[in-house]
Amino acid sequence: MKIHTQYPFNVLVMTDRVVAKAAGKTVEVVVVSEETRATKEYKAINPTNKFPLLETPEGNLQESMTIAKYLAAGHPTLLGKNAVERAQIDQWCTWLIAGNIQKSFPAIYAILGHQPTEQAAFNDAVTAMKASVRQIDGSLKGDWLVGSSVTVADLALGGILSMAFQTVLDAGFKKAAPKACAWFARVAALPEFVSVFGKVKQCSKSLKPVIKAKEEPKKKQEPAAKKEKKADDGFPPKNPLDALPPSPWNFFDFKTLYVNHEDKRGAAMEELRKQFDPQGYSFWYVHYDKFGTEGQVFYKFQNLLQGFLQRFDHFRKHAFGKVNMIGAEPNLEIKGVFCFRGLELPQEAKDHPQFEYMQPRKMDPLNNTDDWNLIAQHWGAAEGLECEGLPVVVASWHK
């Protein structure tokens, strides 16, 4: 049997090769040139002009998942041990070809420099990638996606996710999807997988993408006689939060008042009660979800906290909060409270590479006494005081 392709290192072709090896079958990779592809003779073999194509004595097949299932035919476990497992494998293959993981490809292309992308598109691709892997994480009940043995589902998803785990899904992501990360490590360690993909190592830190500047649409010049005076400075709001209905709360003045107030847990909180606009702002409690040895060494955990706040530095106009390190070695914790413009988590928080590990919870301070007290404890936190029953060792404003 022969697999036709234009690129021998295409991840779909490589995945089909892994399935063939796992099934004990031999396939030859045929690299088709553009000249050959254009001939009448080759078009008769490949009328759709798509790759990969599997050439067999019985006929030719296309589409990677179809090829993988054909190659796995006859194996006792690769296609499932019973009707339910076979259907579950089909379910994963359908999920895969529906485009869930493909949404993440722009991020990988940008990191490899193959196709630079704008920052917003890169962020969206990374978000889609992580969401897909979390779905896998939530579905895992054992070592493998289906049943108790490796199947085509594992090999197909593992192959197509191999680059994501090498470039974006770093050590920190293991906290969000520990089962999926362990599952991929098992797939990547299979001898058949290693023989095709090589030794795949999950990245400890995500790689930087090649970002291109956002292309602004060129404004069509209007005849001088038809130009109208634009309101304000003539520029649209730079942030969607600027377009929200006006709030009676002077947020900037309140931040100044609170930070400089001597009684932050008393009189300053009463000012908050008087001024807070629950229709225009929302409170969020955050608790950093530690991974591995995080929180055991003071200076390392402090660097992590400072790095988190530095990456949030650009978002101050519509945010106010305090994030504190509490406790003592080797059980330090990072917790805090933010107030954001709007009633949902802002896009800036969603785009923050570490915010997803903060376990945010929306608060209801005016109706929930515990939430009100949490705000007072964290916004009034200072070294030497206690917060949530633990000593405060670092108190950091975001204002």
Number of Cβ atoms within 10 Å of the Cβ of 108: 21
Structural domain for 143, as ranges:
2-197
What's residue 230's pLDDT? 45
Structural domains of the chain, count = 2
Specify if 225 maps to a domain. Answer: no
Q: With respect to residue 339, please indicate whether it lies within any of the assigned structural domains.
A: yes
- The packing angle between helices 152-167 and 64-72, to 10°, is 130
> How confident is the model at residue 342, as a pLDDT?
95
pTM of the predicted model, to two decimals?
0.64
| C-alpha to C-alpha distances, 370 to 179, 194, 264, nearest whole angstrom | 33, 53, 17
What distance in Å separates the CA atoms of residue 399 and residue 350, rounded to the nearest whole number?
19
- pLDDT value at residue 237: 52
Asked whether residue 235 is assigned to any structural domain, the reply reads no
Q: Is 392 in the same domain as 287?
A: yes
pLDDT for residue 49? 86
Q: Has residue 375 been placed in a domain? A: yes
Of the three residues 197, 230, 259, the one that is the final residue of a domain is: 197
Q: Helix (H, G, I), strand (E, B), or coil: what is residue 337?
A: strand
57 and 113, same domain (yes or no) = yes
Alpha-carbon dihedral angle through residues 304, 307, 309, 311, given to the nearest 10 degrees: -140
Q: What pLDDT does 9 receive?
A: 86
Domain end (from 182, 197, 212): 197
Q: How far is it, in rounded angstroms, from Cα 34 to Cα 84? A: 43
Residue 255 is assigned to a structural domain of this protein: yes
The reply to whether 245 and 176 lie within a common domain is: no
Do 111 and 246 lie in a common domain?
Answer: no
Residue 233 lies in a domain: no
* Within-domain flag for 228: no
Residues 173 and 301 in one domain: no
Q: Is residue 374 part of a domain?
A: yes
Q: Indicate whether 248 and 172 sit together in one domain.
A: no
> Do 316 and 388 have their domain in common?
yes
The answer to whether residues 152 and 257 belong to one domain is no
Q: Are residues 394 and 247 in the same domain?
A: yes
**Are 317 and 377 within one domain?**
yes
pLDDT in tens, the chain (399 residues): 999 998 888 899 999 999 999 999 999 999 999 899 989 999 998 988 889 999 999 999 999 999 999 999 999 999 999 999 999 999 999 998 887 778 888 999 999 888 888 888 898 888 889 989 999 999 999 999 999 999 999 999 999 999 999 999 988 788 888 999 999 999 999 999 999 999 999 998 888 888 887 766 666 655 554 444 444 444 445 688 988 999 999 999 999 999 999 999 999 999 999 999 999 999 999 999 887 788 999 998 998 898 889 889 889 999 999 999 999 999 999 999 999 999 999 988 988 877 878 889 999 999 999 999 999 999 999 999 999 999 999 999 999
Same domain (yes/no): 246, 180? no
Query: Is the Cβ–Cβ distance between 371 and 365 less than 8 Å?
Result: yes
The pLDDT score that the predictor gives to residue 220 is 60
What CATH number is given to the structural domain containing 391?
3.30.70.1010
User: Position of tokens 């915010």?
Assistant: 355
For residues 355 and 349, the answer to whether their CB atoms sit within 8 Å is yes
Is-contact 184 165, C-beta < 8 A?
A: yes
Q: What CATH number should be reported for the domain holding residue 61?
A: 1.20.1050.10
Does 166 share its domain with 252? no
Tell which of 140, 171, 197 closes a domain.
197
